[in-house]
Amino acid sequence: MIDTAIIPRRPDAAGQRETRRREDAAPRHAAPAPAALTAEEFWARIDAAPR
């Protein structure tokens, strides 16, 4: 098996080197996480929704 740590990364289309984002970093296209609803708020929204 080839040790990939010694192989340099290929530059991207702009000629810049790729940078590795942190594992826990949110992707740029991700929307902010919605606020968590309590059970009462959840069922109130379900009951208020048109049927």
- pLDDT value at residue 36: 82
Query: Is 38 inside a domain boundary?
Result: yes
Between 44 and 30, the more confident residue is 44
pLDDT higher than threshold 90 for residue 5: no
Domain residues for the domain of 38 are 13-48
Distance CA 13, CA 5 (A): 22
- Number of independent structural domains in the chain: 1
Query: Is 8 inside a domain boundary?
Result: no
pLDDT band at 4 (very low <50, low <70, confident <90, very high): low
- Indicate the SS3 state at residue 8: coil
Distance CA 32, CA 19 (A): 23
Query: Is 2 inside a domain boundary?
Result: no
- pLDDT value at residue 50: 86
Between 37 and 4, the more confident residue is 37
